[in-house]
Amino acid sequence: MLIHSADVAETIKESAKFGIKSKIESIDFASIVKRVSEVVDTDSNGIEQAVRKSGNPVLYKVRSRFIGPKKMQVGNEQIEADKVFIVGGTRPSTPPIPGLKDTPYLDSTKALRLEKQPEHLVIIGGGYIAAELAHFYGALGTKVTILVRGNLMLNNEDEEIAQWFTGEFSKKHEILFNTEVEALSYQDNIFTIKLKGKEGKITADQLLVATGRTSNTDILDVKATGVEIDEKGYIKVNAYLETNVKGIWAFGDIIGILPFRHAANDQVGFAIRNAFTDKKVPFDPFAIGHAVFSSPQVGGVGKTEQELKKEGISYKVGKAELKDTGMGGALQQNGLAKVLVSEQDNILGCHIIGPNASILIHEAIVAMKANGKVEAITNSVYIHPALPEWLQRAFFDIG
């Protein structure tokens, strides 16, 4: 909801390309955040009240922790159950930067509730949270400086897509690559940031730390259950979302597999079915996609090219640029659609950067879930000059 405001602002700024002269008179940042917060809070409160009125399930709105295999300390009360679902999620991680904990820095949660628009925002991190929030603040007029440890933004994406995104994003924001923070301080409402191996310092009125997420297994004392946890703190589960302790299941971000809201929504059905019916069904992570709601947008599903190379899987590639399509000319935007397929023409992965990538990627998702074949796309008749023609051209380009 916040990012849509940024998209509108960017559209107005670029309207001259289409022969329309316009300008933004002012940005009411506080009202943008207030509107979104009110909608989210109303939704959340409505769900809470519905649960409380039902009486079953029972809601305990208090910090809790495990004190045994299926036993929890909940405030002053102890509760037990035969079946347990651990769905504790993750939280923003805090890097060990000297001085950081003594400052009022923003994490990805606080950055969504800021009431005053920053003049200059420094973001530590180069992942999807950094990309989305840089777009939100930057499009509304905040100067944004991004500090990235490596040489690419979105380095978990297909490398070619990440390179493309990095190039486009660098035109809009100041990005310092191969950069680490040595120390920082906060005084008189200003952050002062010292970079490793570099002269001078960066100052800003806001700092966002977006360096990843940490599992909440430690806060919940999951180890007290006997459930196995991996080296990163995520709960280990089998294909049925079962832990090694009988009667305990886990899903969502806390298992570290496809940490997306839609993936958790899918997993809950499998967990409940496997816990309460005689016929167990394995959770299938195949063809669960994702999107980055930045500018440009990114959508992806399946394997990346670097993953296929690492796994030694033979593959073919098809690509198409948006500028070579009718809709590309109308939008006056470019982008890249890329598909990776097996020698038998099974779709292994698809990656898109450009307008509406979050929508277009569903074409590939549906095809992969249906029969998984290239022909699902190439045998279809696409409406001209609609945007999906762009993706179809990538499939026609497969060598």
**Sorting pLDDT into bands at 50, 70 and 90, what band is 119?**
very high
Asked whether residue 67 falls in the same domain as residue 137, the answer is no
Asked whether residue 269 falls in the same domain as residue 294, the answer is no
Q: Does residue 31 lie in a domain region?
A: no
- Residue 196: predicted pLDDT: 95
Asked whether residue 104 falls in the same domain as residue 187, the answer is yes
Asked whether residue 112 falls in the same domain as residue 165, the answer is yes
Instruction: Tell whether the model's pLDDT for residue 200 goes beyond 90.
Output: no
Asked whether residue 223 falls in the same domain as residue 181, the answer is no
Asked whether residue 183 falls in the same domain as residue 270, the answer is no
- Residue 94: predicted pLDDT: 92
Asked whether residue 219 falls in the same domain as residue 85, the answer is yes
Q: What is the pLDDT of residues 348-397, one digit of tens each?
A: 999 999 999 999 999 999 999 998 999 999 999 999 999 999 999 999 99
Asked whether residue 229 falls in the same domain as residue 364, the answer is no
Q: What is the pLDDT of residues 172-194, one digit of tens each?
A: 999 999 999 999 999 999 999 99
Asked whether residue 113 falls in the same domain as residue 148, the answer is yes
- CATH code assigned at 374: 3.30.390.30
Asked whether residue 140 falls in the same domain as residue 186, the answer is yes
- Residue 96: predicted pLDDT: 95
Domain that holds residue 378: 290-396
- Segment 34-59 shows an average pLDDT of 95
**Sorting pLDDT into bands at 50, 70 and 90, what band is 50?**
very high
- CATH code assigned at 120: 3.50.50.60
Last residue of a domain, one of 183, 211, 239: 211
- Residue 197: predicted pLDDT: 92
Q: What is the pLDDT of residues 35-46, one digit of tens each?
A: 999 999 999 999
Kindly report the three-state secondary structure assignment for every residue of the chain.
CHHHHHHHHHHHHCHHHHCCCCCCCCCCHHHHHHHHHHHHHHHHHHHHHHHHHHCCCCCCCCCEEEEECCEEEECCEEEECCCEEECCCEEECCCCCCCHHHCCCECCCHHHCCCCCCCEEEEECCCHHHHHHHHHHHHCCCEEEEECCCCCCCCCCCHHHHHHHHHHHHCCCEEECCCCEEEEEEECCEEEEEECCCCCEEEECEEEECCCEEECHHHHCHHHHCCCECCCCCECCCCCCECCCCCEEECCHHHCCCCCHHHHHHHHHHHHHHHHCCCCCCCCCCCCCEEECCCCCEEEEECCHHHHHHHCCCCEEEEEEHHHCHHHHHHCCCCEEEEEECCCCEEEEEEEECCCHHHHHHHHHHHHHHCCECHHHHCCCCCCCCCHHHHHHHHHCCC
- Segment 260-265 shows an average pLDDT of 96
Asked whether residue 109 falls in the same domain as residue 169, the answer is yes
Per the structure, how many domains does the chain have? 3
Instruction: Tell whether the model's pLDDT for residue 143 goes beyond 90.
Output: yes
Asked whether residue 188 falls in the same domain as residue 240, the answer is no
Q: Does residue 149 lie in a domain region?
A: yes
- Segment 303-331 shows an average pLDDT of 97
Q: Does residue 285 lie in a domain region?
A: no
**Sorting pLDDT into bands at 50, 70 and 90, what band is 55?**
confident
